[in-house]
Copies of this chain bind each other. A is one copy, B any other.
């Protein structure tokens, strides 16, 4: 089963990479970019069924991929 996890910064938290990209784009003359956001996406292929895959990937996302103080994650199934 293939599962996708999207990790992003919480709405009220600064995204340092996005801010740096936006600043540099502006310096390089790309002044029409009003906002930049970044996400990190992880795609997992497991040998478990749907229920166990979601349980395991959920634990991994919470414990390893995300810092819950500043980030949130979203899990979705891509294919069986």
Interface residues of chain A, those whose CB is within 8 Å of chain B, are 6, 18, 21, 24-25, 28, 30, 32-48, 52-53, 56, 60, 64-65
Identical copies of this chain, number = 2
Q: Is the CB of B46 within 8 A of A32?
A: yes
Residues of B with C-beta under 8 A to A38: 40-43
A36: nearest chain-B partner, CB-CB:
B44
A-B contact pairs, 5 of them (CB 8 A): A18-B42, A21-B64, A30-B56, A33-B44, A39-B43
Shortest CB-to-CB span from A66 to chain B, Å, is 13
Inter-chain contact A36/B32, CB cutoff 8 Å: no
- A43 near B36: Cβ-Cβ < 8 Å: yes
